[in-house]
């Protein structure tokens, strides 16, 4: 078997954020929406009208900026909830057990978590079991040796 330490982990990660990157990434994503940028620019212009003699601002900037922050906060909360659901699904998939043949000399199958399956492991997949797309079928006990993947 090849040395597995030089390969990446088999761990499934579909979440977009970590606790450190959530705020900057989420703000970056939200500022790519035209509506958010528009209201941010309007708020800045309104603030300049309040604090400088450039023009007379009749509406206070906090009203527009406050509404923008509220909407961005709600969107951020929804993104956080979705990401936590992704992390939960990832943990469920990673903790699913797979039957792996330990070695050619001692062909005993043992249970291993999917995130611990390494390059070169021989995985036993039974009928109607789910498995990742990077698993190559070597043998199939189906009729005529056919293997159907759906």
CB atoms within 10 A of CB 40: 17
* pLDDT, averaged across the chain: 85
What pLDDT was estimated at residue 148?
76
Q: Is the pLDDT of residue 150 over 50?
A: yes
Give pLDDT tens digits for 134-146: 788 888 877 777 8
**Cα angle vertex 9, ends 8, 10, to 5°?**
120
What pLDDT was estimated at residue 102?
66
DSSP-assigned letter for residue 15: -
Q: Is the pLDDT of residue 9 over 70?
A: yes
What pLDDT was estimated at residue 2?
52
Q: Is the pLDDT of residue 104 over 70?
A: no
Selected residue with higher pLDDT from 121 and 109: 121
Can you give the C-alpha Rg of the chain in angstroms? 26
What pLDDT was estimated at residue 60?
84
Mean predicted confidence (pLDDT) in 23-48: 94
Give this prediction's pTM.
Answer: 0.73
Q: Is the pLDDT of residue 106 over 60?
A: yes
Selected residue with higher pLDDT from 91 and 59: 91
Place of tokens 């070597």: 138
In the chain, DSSP finds a helix count (H) and a strand count (E) of 3, 3
What pLDDT was estimated at residue 1?
47
What pLDDT was estimated at residue 28?
96
3-state SS of 50-95? HHCCCCCCCCCHHHHHHHHHHHHHHHHHHHHHHHHHHHHHHHHHHH
Record the tokens describing residue 61, joined without a space.
């900037």
């Amino acid at each position: 078997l090849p040395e597995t330490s030089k390969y990446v982990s088999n761990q499934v990660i579909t979440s977009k954020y970590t606790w450190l990157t959530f705020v900057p990434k989420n703000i970056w994503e939200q500022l790519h929406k035209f509506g958010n940028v528009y209201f941010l620019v309007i708020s800045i212009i309104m603030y300049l009208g309040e604090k400088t003699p450039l023009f007379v601002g009749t509406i206070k900037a906090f009203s527009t900026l406050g509404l923008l922050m509220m909407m961005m906060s709600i969107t951020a909360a929804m993104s956080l909830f979705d990401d936590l659901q992704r992390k939960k699904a990832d943990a469920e998939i990673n903790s699913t057990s797979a039957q792996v043949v330990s070695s050619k000399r001692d062909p005993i199958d043992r249970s291993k978590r999917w995130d611990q399956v390494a390059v070169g492991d021989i995985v036993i997949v039974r009928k109607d079991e789910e498995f990742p797309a990077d698993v190559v079928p070597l043998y199939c006990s189906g009729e005529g040796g056919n293997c159907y993947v759906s």
